Structure 1
Protein backbone atom coordinates (compact mmCIF):
# COMPACT_ATOMS: atom_id res chain seq x y z
CA UNK A 1 0.00 0.00 0.00
CA UNK A 2 1.12 3.57 -0.64
CA UNK A 3 1.25 6.26 2.01
CA UNK A 4 -2.26 7.45 1.11
CA UNK A 5 -3.74 3.99 1.50
CA UNK A 6 -3.95 3.25 -2.25
CA UNK A 7 -2.50 0.08 -3.82
CA UNK A 8 1.16 0.58 -4.71
CA UNK A 9 2.08 0.72 -8.39
CA UNK A 10 3.92 -2.35 -9.65
CA UNK A 11 7.71 -2.12 -9.86
CA UNK A 12 8.72 -1.30 -13.43
CA UNK A 13 11.15 -4.22 -13.95
CA UNK A 14 8.58 -6.74 -12.74
CA UNK A 15 5.89 -5.11 -14.87
CA UNK A 16 7.96 -5.08 -18.07
CA UNK A 17 9.19 -8.65 -17.56
CA UNK A 18 5.66 -9.92 -17.00
CA UNK A 19 4.50 -8.24 -20.20
CA UNK A 20 6.59 -10.60 -22.34
CA UNK A 21 6.77 -13.68 -20.14
CA UNK A 22 3.37 -15.33 -19.75
CA UNK A 23 4.78 -17.71 -17.15
CA UNK A 24 5.14 -14.82 -14.72
CA UNK A 25 2.20 -13.82 -12.55
CA UNK A 26 0.33 -10.55 -12.97
CA UNK A 27 2.41 -7.92 -11.12
CA UNK A 28 1.04 -6.79 -7.79
CA UNK A 29 -0.52 -3.35 -8.05
CA UNK A 30 -2.28 -4.02 -11.35
CA UNK A 31 -5.86 -3.25 -10.39
CA UNK A 32 -9.14 -2.33 -12.06
CA UNK A 33 -11.54 0.54 -11.35
CA UNK A 34 -13.01 -1.47 -8.49
CA UNK A 35 -9.64 -1.59 -6.75
CA UNK A 36 -9.30 -5.35 -7.23
CA UNK A 37 -6.58 -7.22 -9.17
CA UNK A 38 -7.24 -7.12 -12.91
CA UNK A 39 -5.54 -10.11 -14.58
CA UNK A 40 -7.80 -9.95 -17.65
CA UNK A 41 -6.97 -6.29 -18.25
CA UNK A 42 -3.27 -7.06 -17.91
CA UNK A 43 -3.57 -10.01 -20.32
CA UNK A 44 -5.15 -7.77 -22.94
CA UNK A 45 -2.41 -5.19 -22.50
CA UNK A 46 0.26 -7.91 -22.59
CA UNK A 47 -1.15 -9.30 -25.84
CA UNK A 48 -1.30 -5.84 -27.44
CA UNK A 49 2.35 -5.19 -26.59
CA UNK A 50 3.51 -8.51 -28.04
CA UNK A 51 1.38 -8.07 -31.17
CA UNK A 52 2.83 -4.58 -31.75
CA UNK A 53 6.40 -5.86 -31.46
CA UNK A 54 5.70 -8.81 -33.74
CA UNK A 55 4.22 -6.44 -36.33
CA UNK A 56 7.35 -4.28 -36.13
CA UNK A 57 9.49 -7.33 -36.93
CA UNK A 58 7.17 -8.26 -39.81
CA UNK A 59 7.44 -4.80 -41.32
CA UNK A 60 11.24 -4.74 -41.12
CA UNK A 61 11.89 -8.24 -42.47
CA UNK A 62 9.31 -8.92 -45.22
CA UNK A 63 11.69 -11.05 -47.32
CA UNK A 64 12.45 -13.37 -44.41
CA UNK A 65 8.73 -13.55 -43.64
CA UNK A 66 7.91 -14.59 -47.20
CA UNK A 67 10.66 -17.20 -47.21
CA UNK A 68 9.37 -18.80 -44.00
CA UNK A 69 5.65 -18.28 -44.48
CA UNK A 70 3.43 -15.89 -42.58
CA UNK A 71 2.30 -18.26 -39.81
CA UNK A 72 5.74 -19.67 -39.05
CA UNK A 73 7.31 -16.22 -39.11
CA UNK A 74 4.71 -14.82 -36.73
CA UNK A 75 5.39 -17.64 -34.25
CA UNK A 76 9.13 -17.14 -34.69
CA UNK A 77 8.82 -13.42 -34.10
CA UNK A 78 6.94 -14.04 -30.86
CA UNK A 79 9.81 -16.22 -29.64
CA UNK A 80 12.24 -13.44 -30.54
CA UNK A 81 10.14 -10.77 -28.84
CA UNK A 82 9.96 -12.68 -25.56
CA UNK A 83 13.73 -13.08 -25.43
CA UNK A 84 14.65 -9.67 -26.83
CA UNK A 85 12.57 -6.86 -25.32
CA UNK A 86 13.03 -3.37 -26.79
CA UNK A 87 15.80 -1.22 -25.37
CA UNK A 88 14.67 1.96 -27.13
CA UNK A 89 11.31 3.77 -27.13
CA UNK A 90 11.68 4.24 -30.90
CA UNK A 91 9.88 1.22 -32.32
CA UNK A 92 11.34 1.51 -35.82
CA UNK A 93 14.76 0.58 -34.43
CA UNK A 94 13.46 -2.63 -32.87
CA UNK A 95 14.93 -5.77 -34.42
CA UNK A 96 18.68 -5.14 -34.57
CA UNK A 97 19.30 -8.51 -32.87
CA UNK A 98 16.97 -10.45 -35.18
CA UNK A 99 19.65 -11.54 -37.70
CA UNK A 100 21.84 -12.96 -34.91
CA UNK A 101 18.77 -14.64 -33.42
CA UNK A 102 18.10 -16.39 -36.74
CA UNK A 103 21.72 -17.50 -36.88
CA UNK A 104 21.49 -19.33 -33.56
CA UNK A 105 17.88 -20.56 -33.73
CA UNK A 106 18.38 -24.32 -33.89
CA UNK A 107 15.16 -25.24 -35.78
CA UNK A 108 16.39 -23.09 -38.70
CA UNK A 109 19.90 -24.54 -38.82
CA UNK A 110 19.20 -25.99 -42.29
CA UNK A 111 18.68 -22.44 -43.63
CA UNK A 112 21.93 -20.64 -42.77
CA UNK A 113 21.35 -17.90 -45.34
CA UNK A 114 18.33 -16.45 -43.50
CA UNK A 115 20.50 -14.46 -41.09
CA UNK A 116 22.31 -12.67 -43.91
CA UNK A 117 19.04 -11.98 -45.71
CA UNK A 118 17.83 -10.38 -42.49
CA UNK A 119 21.06 -8.35 -42.29
CA UNK A 120 20.36 -6.92 -45.73
CA UNK A 121 16.84 -5.94 -44.67
CA UNK A 122 18.06 -4.39 -41.41
CA UNK A 123 20.71 -2.48 -43.38
CA UNK A 124 17.98 -1.27 -45.74
CA UNK A 125 16.18 0.24 -42.76
CA UNK A 126 19.37 1.83 -41.44
CA UNK A 127 20.18 3.33 -44.82
CA UNK A 128 16.65 4.65 -45.25
CA UNK A 129 16.81 6.52 -41.94
CA UNK A 130 20.46 7.52 -42.10
CA UNK A 131 21.75 11.08 -42.12
CA UNK A 132 21.10 13.05 -45.31
CA UNK A 133 24.30 13.97 -47.13
CA UNK A 134 25.17 15.04 -50.65
CA UNK A 135 27.14 12.22 -52.30
CA UNK A 136 30.41 12.88 -54.07
CA UNK A 137 29.80 13.22 -57.82
CA UNK A 138 32.00 11.64 -60.51
CA UNK A 139 32.70 15.14 -61.82
CA UNK A 140 34.17 16.28 -58.51
CA UNK A 141 36.59 13.38 -58.42
CA UNK A 142 37.32 13.85 -62.12
CA UNK A 143 38.69 17.32 -61.41
CA UNK A 144 41.49 15.87 -59.30
CA UNK A 145 44.86 15.72 -61.09
CA UNK A 146 45.59 12.10 -62.14
CA UNK A 147 49.03 12.13 -60.49
CA UNK A 148 47.50 12.96 -57.08
CA UNK A 149 44.39 10.79 -57.31
CA UNK A 150 46.07 7.79 -55.71
CA UNK A 151 46.90 9.83 -52.60
CA UNK A 152 43.27 10.75 -51.95
CA UNK A 153 41.24 9.40 -49.06
CA UNK A 154 37.49 9.08 -49.46
CA UNK A 155 34.94 9.55 -46.71
CA UNK A 156 32.12 7.02 -46.88
CA UNK A 157 28.53 8.27 -47.13
CA UNK A 158 26.56 7.65 -43.88
CA UNK A 159 23.96 5.58 -45.75
CA UNK A 160 26.50 3.20 -47.31
CA UNK A 161 26.47 -0.24 -45.64
CA UNK A 162 28.20 -3.42 -46.73
CA UNK A 163 26.83 -6.93 -46.13
CA UNK A 164 29.19 -9.73 -47.13
CA UNK A 165 27.85 -13.26 -47.42
CA UNK A 166 28.61 -16.75 -48.63
CA UNK A 167 25.02 -16.97 -49.91
CA UNK A 168 23.02 -15.36 -52.76
CA UNK A 169 21.46 -12.82 -50.40
CA UNK A 170 20.69 -10.15 -52.98
CA UNK A 171 18.85 -12.72 -55.09
CA UNK A 172 16.86 -13.85 -52.05
CA UNK A 173 15.89 -10.29 -51.12
CA UNK A 174 14.99 -9.39 -54.68
CA UNK A 175 12.86 -12.52 -55.18
CA UNK A 176 11.04 -12.23 -51.87
CA UNK A 177 10.72 -8.49 -51.35
CA UNK A 178 11.08 -6.45 -54.51
CA UNK A 179 10.24 -8.86 -57.35
CA UNK A 180 8.01 -11.48 -55.74
CA UNK A 181 6.13 -12.20 -58.97
CA UNK A 182 9.26 -13.02 -60.97
CA UNK A 183 10.23 -16.63 -61.39
CA UNK A 184 13.83 -16.09 -60.36
CA UNK A 185 16.30 -18.97 -60.30
CA UNK A 186 18.64 -18.78 -57.30
CA UNK A 187 21.95 -20.62 -57.12
CA UNK A 188 22.88 -21.39 -53.50
CA UNK A 189 26.54 -21.61 -54.52
CA UNK A 190 26.55 -17.98 -55.68
CA UNK A 191 28.19 -16.00 -52.87
CA UNK A 192 27.03 -12.38 -52.99
CA UNK A 193 28.18 -9.26 -51.20
CA UNK A 194 25.72 -6.40 -51.21
CA UNK A 195 26.20 -2.67 -50.93
CA UNK A 196 23.22 -0.77 -49.53
CA UNK A 197 23.15 2.97 -50.23
CA UNK A 198 20.76 5.91 -50.31
CA UNK A 199 22.25 8.63 -52.51
CA UNK A 200 18.94 10.48 -52.68
CA UNK A 201 15.45 9.47 -51.52
CA UNK A 202 15.45 5.78 -52.41
CA UNK A 203 17.53 2.98 -50.94
CA UNK A 204 19.55 1.08 -53.55
CA UNK A 205 21.05 -2.40 -53.37
CA UNK A 206 24.07 -3.23 -55.49
CA UNK A 207 25.92 -6.48 -56.09
CA UNK A 208 29.64 -5.85 -55.65
CA UNK A 209 32.16 -6.79 -58.30
CA UNK A 210 35.11 -9.05 -57.41
CA UNK A 211 37.44 -7.22 -55.03
CA UNK A 212 34.84 -4.58 -54.24
CA UNK A 213 34.47 -5.70 -50.62
CA UNK A 214 38.18 -5.45 -49.83
CA UNK A 215 38.49 -2.17 -51.74
CA UNK A 216 35.67 -0.56 -49.78
CA UNK A 217 36.91 -1.96 -46.46
CA UNK A 218 40.33 -0.47 -47.13
CA UNK A 219 38.85 2.94 -47.95
CA UNK A 220 36.64 2.79 -44.86
CA UNK A 221 39.68 2.10 -42.66
CA UNK A 222 41.43 5.22 -43.98
CA UNK A 223 43.62 3.83 -46.77
CA UNK A 224 44.26 6.06 -49.76
CA UNK A 225 42.69 5.27 -53.09
CA UNK A 226 46.00 3.91 -54.33
CA UNK A 227 46.56 1.74 -51.27
CA UNK A 228 43.03 0.34 -51.44
CA UNK A 229 43.36 -0.45 -55.14
CA UNK A 230 46.73 -2.13 -54.58
CA UNK A 231 45.35 -4.30 -51.76
CA UNK A 232 42.31 -5.36 -53.79
CA UNK A 233 44.41 -6.11 -56.89
CA UNK A 234 46.82 -8.23 -54.86
CA UNK A 235 43.97 -10.26 -53.37
CA UNK A 236 41.66 -10.51 -56.42
CA UNK A 237 43.25 -10.98 -59.82
CA UNK A 238 40.12 -9.83 -61.69
CA UNK A 239 39.73 -6.61 -59.68
CA UNK A 240 38.63 -3.80 -62.00
CA UNK A 241 39.39 -0.46 -60.34
CA UNK A 242 37.65 1.61 -62.99
CA UNK A 243 34.49 -0.50 -62.91
CA UNK A 244 34.29 -0.66 -59.11
CA UNK A 245 34.95 3.06 -58.71
CA UNK A 246 32.31 3.88 -61.32
CA UNK A 247 29.79 1.67 -59.51
CA UNK A 248 30.52 3.29 -56.17
CA UNK A 249 30.28 6.84 -57.50
CA UNK A 250 27.00 6.14 -59.29
CA UNK A 251 25.57 4.61 -56.09
CA UNK A 252 26.64 7.57 -53.96
CA UNK A 253 29.01 5.58 -51.75
CA UNK A 254 31.32 8.51 -51.06
CA UNK A 255 30.65 11.78 -49.30
CA UNK A 256 33.84 13.78 -49.64
CA UNK A 257 37.52 13.30 -50.48
CA UNK A 258 40.75 14.76 -49.19
CA UNK A 259 44.44 14.58 -49.97
Structure 2
Protein backbone atom coordinates (compact mmCIF):
# COMPACT_ATOMS: atom_id res chain seq x y z
CA UNK A 1 0.00 0.00 0.00
CA UNK A 2 1.32 3.44 -0.93
CA UNK A 3 1.88 5.90 1.96
CA UNK A 4 -0.84 8.43 2.44
CA UNK A 5 -0.22 11.94 1.17
CA UNK A 6 -0.06 14.67 3.84
CA UNK A 7 -3.32 16.45 4.45
CA UNK A 8 -2.77 19.71 2.62
CA UNK A 9 -5.63 21.53 4.36
CA UNK A 10 -3.98 20.82 7.76
CA UNK A 11 -0.69 22.30 6.66
CA UNK A 12 -2.49 25.25 5.09
CA UNK A 13 -4.24 25.83 8.40
CA UNK A 14 -0.88 25.67 10.16
CA UNK A 15 0.54 28.38 7.90
CA UNK A 16 -2.58 30.57 7.98
CA UNK A 17 -2.73 30.58 11.77
CA UNK A 18 0.91 31.67 11.99
CA UNK A 19 0.04 35.17 10.79
CA UNK A 20 -3.38 35.49 12.43
CA UNK A 21 -3.39 35.41 16.21
CA UNK A 22 -7.21 35.23 16.25
CA UNK A 23 -7.09 31.69 14.82
CA UNK A 24 -6.98 28.73 17.16
CA UNK A 25 -3.89 26.55 17.24
CA UNK A 26 -4.35 24.01 14.41
CA UNK A 27 -5.11 20.40 15.50
CA UNK A 28 -2.01 19.24 13.62
CA UNK A 29 0.15 20.88 16.30
CA UNK A 30 1.12 18.35 18.95
CA UNK A 31 3.89 18.10 21.51
CA UNK A 32 5.65 15.62 23.80
CA UNK A 33 3.64 14.36 26.76
CA UNK A 34 3.43 16.98 29.45
CA UNK A 35 4.61 19.79 27.13
CA UNK A 36 2.43 22.72 26.11
CA UNK A 37 2.12 22.45 22.34
CA UNK A 38 -0.26 25.42 22.14
CA UNK A 39 2.10 27.64 24.11
CA UNK A 40 5.05 26.64 21.96
CA UNK A 41 3.09 27.28 18.77
CA UNK A 42 2.11 30.74 20.03
CA UNK A 43 5.75 31.59 20.70
CA UNK A 44 6.64 30.48 17.19
CA UNK A 45 3.69 32.42 15.76
CA UNK A 46 4.82 35.58 17.54
CA UNK A 47 8.37 35.15 16.24
CA UNK A 48 7.06 34.84 12.66
CA UNK A 49 4.97 37.99 13.00
CA UNK A 50 7.82 39.97 14.54
CA UNK A 51 10.13 38.88 11.70
CA UNK A 52 7.64 40.01 9.06
CA UNK A 53 7.02 43.34 10.82
CA UNK A 54 10.78 43.90 10.96
CA UNK A 55 11.06 43.03 7.27
CA UNK A 56 8.44 45.68 6.43
CA UNK A 57 10.23 48.22 8.62
CA UNK A 58 13.47 47.54 6.74
CA UNK A 59 11.76 48.13 3.37
CA UNK A 60 9.74 51.17 4.46
CA UNK A 61 11.89 53.20 6.90
CA UNK A 62 10.48 56.56 5.77
CA UNK A 63 6.91 55.35 6.30
CA UNK A 64 7.88 54.13 9.76
CA UNK A 65 9.52 57.44 10.64
CA UNK A 66 6.45 59.38 9.47
CA UNK A 67 3.92 57.30 11.38
CA UNK A 68 6.01 56.44 14.41
CA UNK A 69 7.03 52.96 15.50
CA UNK A 70 3.84 52.02 17.37
CA UNK A 71 1.50 53.07 14.54
CA UNK A 72 3.70 51.40 11.92
CA UNK A 73 3.92 48.08 13.73
CA UNK A 74 0.16 47.98 14.31
CA UNK A 75 -0.48 48.74 10.63
CA UNK A 76 2.07 46.12 9.61
CA UNK A 77 0.36 43.47 11.72
CA UNK A 78 -2.98 44.14 10.00
CA UNK A 79 -1.23 43.87 6.63
CA UNK A 80 0.44 40.59 7.59
CA UNK A 81 -2.90 39.15 8.62
CA UNK A 82 -4.49 40.22 5.34
CA UNK A 83 -1.56 39.29 3.08
CA UNK A 84 0.68 36.44 4.25
CA UNK A 85 4.06 36.06 2.52
CA UNK A 86 4.22 34.04 -0.69
CA UNK A 87 8.01 34.06 -1.14
CA UNK A 88 10.85 32.68 0.94
CA UNK A 89 12.78 35.93 0.39
CA UNK A 90 11.95 38.46 3.09
CA UNK A 91 12.93 41.45 0.92
CA UNK A 92 10.18 40.40 -1.50
CA UNK A 93 7.54 40.67 1.21
CA UNK A 94 5.39 43.77 1.39
CA UNK A 95 5.20 44.50 -2.32
CA UNK A 96 1.49 45.25 -1.90
CA UNK A 97 1.96 47.20 1.34
CA UNK A 98 1.48 50.59 -0.42
CA UNK A 99 -1.92 49.47 -1.74
CA UNK A 100 -2.82 48.28 1.76
CA UNK A 101 -1.89 51.67 3.22
CA UNK A 102 -4.34 53.33 0.81
CA UNK A 103 -7.19 51.31 2.32
CA UNK A 104 -6.01 51.39 5.94
CA UNK A 105 -8.61 53.33 7.89
CA UNK A 106 -6.22 54.91 10.37
CA UNK A 107 -3.93 56.26 7.62
CA UNK A 108 -6.63 58.28 5.88
CA UNK A 109 -5.24 61.46 7.40
CA UNK A 110 -2.00 60.85 5.48
CA UNK A 111 -3.25 60.46 1.89
CA UNK A 112 0.29 60.76 0.49
CA UNK A 113 1.70 57.96 2.66
CA UNK A 114 0.98 55.19 0.13
CA UNK A 115 2.93 57.02 -2.57
CA UNK A 116 5.89 57.48 -0.24
CA UNK A 117 5.73 53.72 0.30
CA UNK A 118 5.68 53.17 -3.47
CA UNK A 119 8.89 55.16 -3.80
CA UNK A 120 10.48 53.10 -1.05
CA UNK A 121 9.45 49.88 -2.78
CA UNK A 122 10.81 51.18 -6.08
CA UNK A 123 14.06 52.11 -4.29
CA UNK A 124 14.47 48.54 -3.03
CA UNK A 125 13.62 47.01 -6.41
CA UNK A 126 16.16 49.30 -8.07
CA UNK A 127 18.74 48.27 -5.49
CA UNK A 128 18.25 44.57 -6.28
CA UNK A 129 17.92 45.03 -10.07
CA UNK A 130 20.47 43.53 -12.43
CA UNK A 131 23.58 45.52 -13.26
CA UNK A 132 23.83 47.09 -16.71
CA UNK A 133 25.96 49.71 -18.40
CA UNK A 134 23.95 52.93 -18.81
CA UNK A 135 23.63 54.55 -22.22
CA UNK A 136 26.35 57.16 -22.63
CA UNK A 137 26.00 60.66 -23.98
CA UNK A 138 28.56 59.72 -26.65
CA UNK A 139 26.38 56.87 -27.90
CA UNK A 140 23.42 59.18 -28.19
CA UNK A 141 25.52 61.85 -29.92
CA UNK A 142 26.66 59.28 -32.50
CA UNK A 143 23.07 58.88 -33.71
CA UNK A 144 22.48 60.76 -36.98
CA UNK A 145 20.40 63.84 -36.12
CA UNK A 146 17.88 63.07 -38.86
CA UNK A 147 17.27 59.64 -37.31
CA UNK A 148 17.09 60.70 -33.67
CA UNK A 149 13.29 60.87 -33.63
CA UNK A 150 13.19 57.17 -34.63
CA UNK A 151 15.38 56.06 -31.73
CA UNK A 152 13.90 53.40 -29.44
CA UNK A 153 15.47 52.95 -26.02
CA UNK A 154 15.93 49.98 -23.69
CA UNK A 155 15.31 50.83 -20.04
CA UNK A 156 17.94 50.06 -17.43
CA UNK A 157 16.75 47.16 -15.21
CA UNK A 158 16.77 49.48 -12.20
CA UNK A 159 14.69 52.26 -13.75
CA UNK A 160 11.40 52.97 -11.99
CA UNK A 161 8.93 55.87 -12.15
CA UNK A 162 6.48 56.79 -9.40
CA UNK A 163 3.82 59.43 -10.00
CA UNK A 164 1.92 61.10 -7.20
CA UNK A 165 -0.81 63.69 -6.68
CA UNK A 166 1.16 64.73 -3.60
CA UNK A 167 4.69 65.86 -2.71
CA UNK A 168 5.71 62.25 -2.20
CA UNK A 169 9.27 62.63 -3.50
CA UNK A 170 10.00 65.52 -1.14
CA UNK A 171 8.40 63.73 1.81
CA UNK A 172 10.34 60.56 1.00
CA UNK A 173 13.66 62.41 0.80
CA UNK A 174 13.01 64.29 4.05
CA UNK A 175 12.30 61.09 5.98
CA UNK A 176 15.04 58.75 4.75
CA UNK A 177 17.53 60.13 7.26
CA UNK A 178 17.57 61.37 10.85
CA UNK A 179 17.73 65.08 10.01
CA UNK A 180 14.86 67.26 11.30
CA UNK A 181 11.94 67.56 8.87
CA UNK A 182 10.66 71.05 8.14
CA UNK A 183 7.27 72.15 6.91
CA UNK A 184 6.30 70.49 3.60
CA UNK A 185 3.40 71.45 1.37
CA UNK A 186 2.14 67.95 0.67
CA UNK A 187 -0.42 69.10 -1.90
CA UNK A 188 2.00 69.71 -4.78
CA UNK A 189 1.99 66.84 -7.32
CA UNK A 190 5.41 65.26 -7.87
CA UNK A 191 6.83 62.53 -10.08
CA UNK A 192 9.99 60.64 -9.24
CA UNK A 193 12.61 58.78 -11.30
CA UNK A 194 14.42 56.00 -9.45
CA UNK A 195 17.63 54.66 -11.01
CA UNK A 196 20.85 52.88 -10.08
CA UNK A 197 23.40 53.65 -12.78
CA UNK A 198 26.24 52.57 -10.47
CA UNK A 199 26.18 51.21 -6.92
CA UNK A 200 23.92 53.87 -5.41
CA UNK A 201 20.16 54.18 -5.89
CA UNK A 202 19.16 57.75 -6.79
CA UNK A 203 15.70 59.32 -6.60
CA UNK A 204 15.16 62.43 -8.72
CA UNK A 205 12.30 64.86 -9.13
CA UNK A 206 10.95 64.86 -12.66
CA UNK A 207 9.91 68.13 -14.30
CA UNK A 208 6.44 68.59 -15.73
CA UNK A 209 5.99 66.21 -18.63
CA UNK A 210 9.07 64.20 -17.68
CA UNK A 211 7.18 61.17 -16.39
CA UNK A 212 5.02 60.95 -19.52
CA UNK A 213 8.13 61.24 -21.68
CA UNK A 214 10.06 58.52 -19.86
CA UNK A 215 7.10 56.17 -19.45
CA UNK A 216 6.52 56.40 -23.21
CA UNK A 217 10.16 55.54 -23.93
CA UNK A 218 10.10 52.66 -21.44
CA UNK A 219 6.98 51.27 -23.13
CA UNK A 220 8.83 51.12 -26.48
CA UNK A 221 7.69 54.29 -28.21
CA UNK A 222 10.23 56.18 -30.27
CA UNK A 223 11.85 59.39 -29.09
CA UNK A 224 9.72 61.42 -31.48
CA UNK A 225 6.49 59.78 -30.31
CA UNK A 226 7.40 60.17 -26.64
CA UNK A 227 8.32 63.83 -27.12
CA UNK A 228 5.06 64.57 -28.93
CA UNK A 229 3.01 62.94 -26.19
CA UNK A 230 4.89 64.78 -23.44
CA UNK A 231 4.38 68.12 -25.19
CA UNK A 232 0.67 67.44 -25.65
CA UNK A 233 0.32 66.72 -21.94
CA UNK A 234 2.68 69.50 -20.82
CA UNK A 235 3.34 72.26 -23.40
CA UNK A 236 6.17 73.59 -21.21
CA UNK A 237 8.09 70.30 -21.40
CA UNK A 238 11.76 70.91 -22.24
CA UNK A 239 12.80 68.10 -24.59
CA UNK A 240 16.51 68.88 -24.53
CA UNK A 241 16.55 68.94 -20.73
CA UNK A 242 14.51 65.72 -20.66
CA UNK A 243 17.03 63.90 -22.87
CA UNK A 244 19.99 65.23 -20.90
CA UNK A 245 18.34 64.24 -17.64
CA UNK A 246 17.63 60.66 -18.69
CA UNK A 247 21.26 60.21 -19.80
CA UNK A 248 22.61 61.71 -16.59
CA UNK A 249 20.32 59.47 -14.53
CA UNK A 250 21.36 56.33 -16.40
CA UNK A 251 17.73 55.47 -17.11
CA UNK A 252 18.45 53.55 -20.35
CA UNK A 253 21.09 51.15 -21.62
CA UNK A 254 20.85 51.04 -25.42
CA UNK A 255 19.08 52.61 -28.34
CA UNK A 256 18.15 51.20 -31.71
CA UNK A 257 16.91 52.69 -34.97
CA UNK A 258 14.12 51.32 -37.10
CA UNK A 259 14.34 50.92 -40.86
CA UNK A 260 15.13 54.16 -42.70
TM-score bucket (shorter structure): over 0.9
Distance apart, 1:187 and its partner CA: 1.2
Inter-partner Cα distance in structure 1 for 2:89 and 2:66: 27
1:127, 1:196 within 8 Å by CA — same for their partners in 2? Answer: yes
Superposition pairs of residues 45-194 of structure 1, within 5 angstroms = 45-178=44-177, 180-194=178-192
Inter-partner Cα distance in structure 2 for 1:147 and 1:242: 16
Inter-partner Cα distance in structure 1 for 2:121 and 2:195: 13
Inter-partner Cα distance in structure 2 for 1:215 and 1:104: 30
Inter-partner Cα distance in structure 2 for 1:68 and 1:210: 29
Inter-partner Cα distance in structure 1 for 2:65 and 2:253: 35
Aligned residues: 253
Inter-partner Cα distance in structure 1 for 2:152 and 2:34: 67
Structure 2 length-normalised TM:
0.92
- Residues 140-149 or 10-19, more deviating: 10-19
Inter-partner Cα distance in structure 1 for 2:38 and 2:162: 45
Q: Equivalent of 2:230, from 232, 237, 254?
A: 232
Q: Equivalent of 1:199, from 197, 212, 215?
A: 197
Structure 1 length-normalised TM:
0.93
Distance apart, 1:29 and its partner CA: 3.0
Runs of 4+ in 1 over 3 A off after TM superposition: 182-185
Distance apart, 1:36 and its partner CA: 5.8
Q: Equivalent of 1:250, from 233, 238, 248?
A: 248
Give SS of 2:204's match: strand
1:151, 1:225 within 8 Å by CA — same for their partners in 2? Answer: yes
Stretches of structure 2 that go unaligned for 5 or more consecutive residues are: none
Inter-partner Cα distance in structure 1 for 2:86 and 2:176: 27
Inter-partner Cα distance in structure 2 for 1:258 and 1:9: 51
Distance apart, 1:210 and its partner CA: 1.3
Inter-partner Cα distance in structure 1 for 2:35 and 2:73: 34
After superposition, the CA RMSD in angstroms is: 1.9
Inter-partner Cα distance in structure 1 for 2:251 and 2:72: 33
Distance apart, 1:35 and its partner CA: 7.3
Distance change (3 Å), C-alpha of 1:249 and 1:200: same
